[in-house]
Structure 1
Amino acid sequence: MQEKQESQPKAAGSLGKTHPALKAFMCGSLSGTCSTLLFQPLDLVKTRLQTVQNNMHPGAPRVGMLAVFLNVIRTEKLLGLWKGVSPSFMRCIPGVGIYFSTFYSLKQHFFLDRAPRAGEAVLLGAGARCVAGLAMLPVTVIKTRFESGLYNYVSVFGALRSICVSEGPRALFSGLTATLLRDAPFSGIYVMFYSQAKRTLPQEVTSSTFAPLVNFGCGVLAGILASVATQPADVVKTHMQVSPNLYRNTSDALRFIYMEHGVSGFFRGAVPRSLRRTLMAAMAWTVYEQLMAQMGLKS
């Protein structure tokens, strides 16, 4: 009994000695797991909306979000809405962890004694997202192809092997520019609006028992604004990753989308993406901040 009692403080002490950046990684990974599982169907519908029109004959009526949603259920059953969830987990669990640990490290290094200003918050969020986006891009490519329904991949590793053999490793980094143009501004804009919205609220509100609800509300507002601003880059990214052989570079994809679909083509899938990105980011930040507070760390 005495040995058991002595082992408990030792275990607690070892957890306490964990590096703060690693704690941020664990908090971010857990928040990414929860949000990915809940909102994967919206991501799948968004991807289908952005690619389905290219496979239809000229003059065909546009397909809406509800039609895609019902078609997936009818042809692939309810679980078809979670197609691509495996690569989503492989991307988001470590990806969100990398993002938050990088964000925490940068914030502690540059803004230890004060809160970042609006412009600094943009750079802080964008910098952390660039690191995570570049590290997880190969998994993002596989995830996008899984969701498109245009490839018959059986598993994530099978898809990885197939792409490397048939297209070369370079295909795993297709859409890099568009991805960074989408993710870096999204994260930068999100962090700016999120932090500024929280700063306008009284300290009594942000530190009360309603803090999780306040954080989520600020996250929803920031997510909507950031999603709309970065939607065109998301459409370009999807096109380049699903059909890399059609485009030599980002400019080709931009030109093709504009000529085929006009300006509205850059906002295909905006509704499901905005819903998913907004709710996912709001939940991820809410869970992250609560877990960091439980660990006694300032997020």
Structure 2
Amino acid sequence: MELSLAHPVVKAFMCGSLSGTCSTLLFQPLDLVKTRLQTLHSNMQPGSARVGMVTVFLSVVRTEKLMGLWKGVSPSFVRTIPGVGIYFSTYYSLKQHFIQEPGPGAVEAVLLGASARAVAGVCMLPVTVIKTRFESGRYNYGSVTGALRTVCQTEGPRALFSGLTPTLLRDAPFSGLYVMFYSQAKNALPQEISMSLYSPLANFCCGILAGVLASLVTQPADVVKTHIQVSPNVYKRTAHAVQYIYVEHGFQGFFRGGVPRSLRRTMIAAMAWTVYEHLMARMGLKS
């Protein structure tokens, strides 16, 4: 089946890609700080003072200059432009086929968001692995394509799918919970606000609330995913990474990097959904 540029699914893909591109460029520094926080303790001696988000931020600026905060933005773009497009076009397609008016309920919203994210996550996982390594500061890749080639030659193609389980355990529940919280919060808005000029701002606030709640629930899976993708030779299985984090750093180790990740994921998701819905409305489509 051929899809023209006028097809609703193609429009959803284009709107999603544009919204994801804008949000990624703005909030990439938070993702880099999150990755550094999650991997930093692997090189620290027992009893060392705990390093916080601001310390890592200033350290990156001091040693790698201001633009060092955008390290990994290239693979982020390579992942985001098609990845968010795949997510929103899958979400739109599933919603049109399986959801009746007036819209998805709580359970349906979870299934919609989780399914769309699982599809996009599997498709873009190789680029996600490269992005995580770029941000960790442990690898000196020159480009995304060069990094993909190097990993395939030295570690095998399978390394590009390292962390698949924790990635899906993080992304699918996050997206499912986000869509549920977001849709329920929007439904609770008074109709006069939903139909006013302030509706994009109201939707953005609903996205902030949904993002914070979903981020807190899925933070442990993000920490495990980062460890596996940065050191795939050390952690052969997801259970090994979980055991290491718990033994070395206790329960709180699963929430390391939670503040920058929560800020970034919340702001990106809120902005992406706000821009996506606005663009879809401008095109005359119901998101």
After TM superposition, the score normalised by the length of structure 2 is 0.98
Letter in 2 for 1:21: V
Runs of 4+ with >2 A deviation = none
Superimposed CA distance per residue, residues 243-276 of structure 1 (whole angstroms, 9 cap, x where no aligned partner)? 0011121111100100010001000000000000
Letter in 2 for 1:205: I
* Residue among 108, 122, 139 paired with 2:96: 108
Give the aligned length: 285
Structure-2 separation of matches of 1:50 and 1:171: 20
2:81 aligned partner: 93
Preserved CA contact (<8 Å) 2:133 2:139: yes
Letter in 2 for 1:282: A
Report how far residue 207 of structure 1 moved. 1.8
Superimposed CA distance per residue, residues 207-259 of structure 1 (whole angstroms, 9 cap, x where no aligned partner)? 21001101100000000000000000000000000000111211111001000
Structure-1 separation of matches of 2:195 and 2:247: 51
Structure-1 separation of matches of 2:102 and 2:120: 25
Superimposed CA distance per residue, residues 2-50 of structure 1 (whole angstroms, 9 cap, x where no aligned partner)? xxxxxxxxxxxxxx97110000000000000100000000000000000
**Once the two structures are aligned, what percentage of the paired residues are identical?**
75
Structure 2 gaps, min length 5: none
2:42 aligned partner: 54
Superimposed CA distance per residue, residues 122-169 of structure 1 (whole angstroms, 9 cap, x where no aligned partner)? 000000000000000000000000000000111111110110011000
1:281 aligned partner: 269
Structure-2 separation of matches of 1:29 and 1:136: 13
* Residue among 166, 173, 178 paired with 1:190: 178
Preserved CA contact (<8 Å) 2:5 2:11: no
2:244 aligned partner: 256
Structure-2 separation of matches of 1:164 and 1:61: 37
Query: What are the equivalent positions in structure 2 for 1:87-166 lying under 5 Å apart?
Result: 87-166=75-154
1:228 aligned partner: 216
After TM superposition, the score normalised by the length of structure 1 is 0.94
- CA RMSD in angstroms comes to 1.1
Larger of the two Rg values belongs to structure: 1
Letter in 2 for 1:80: G
Preserved CA contact (<8 Å) 2:32 2:70: yes
